[in-house]
Amino acid sequence: MDASLLSIQPNAPEPLYRQIAGQIRRLVAGGQLRPGDALPSVREVAGLHAINPMTVSRAYSQLEAEGVLLRLRGKGMVVADTAAPPDLGARWALIDPALDALARQARELELPAEDLLARLQHRIQEELP
């Protein structure tokens, strides 16, 4: 996996280490990262995104505690063989809070569902920077 695939937003309210952990967790759950795949080294991610190595390490450690990643001593982190295989239910569960938040906000703002869905579709399909 390439370190540049991670998207870090320093000004977001979500802490950096949780942004990283969340992305990797979803990439594993979605099957874009498979058991055995190597992750970019702590120093590589930290250097590329100009953040502290400890911040990256914290994300990795948390995922290791969850069983998502495995630490190969002296070699780095890989996706664990024991990581749950992509399971549709689990994937929906991971996105559910965000879905819920969006729906609630749309109701509060009285934004028409039709327009919201159109915007979301466009946002999903657009090319990434």
Residues that bind a second copy (CB under 8 A): 7, 12-16, 22-23, 26-27, 29-32, 52, 62, 65, 73-74, 86, 91-92, 94-95, 97-111, 113, 116-117, 119-121, 123-125, 128
CA atoms within 13 A on the CB side of 43: 1
CA distance 46 to 56: 6
CA distance 5 to 101: 26
Q: Closest distance between a second copy and the C-beta of residue 36, in Å?
A: 17
Kindly tell me which of 47 and 116 has the beta carbon lying closer to DNA. 47
Collapsing DSSP to helix, strand or coil, 38 comes out as strand
Per-residue x/- marks for DNA, 73-102, CB under 7 A? xxxxx-------------------------
Collapsing DSSP to helix, strand or coil, 1 comes out as coil
**Which of DNA, a second copy, none sits in contact with 84, Cβ below 5 to 8 A by type?**
none
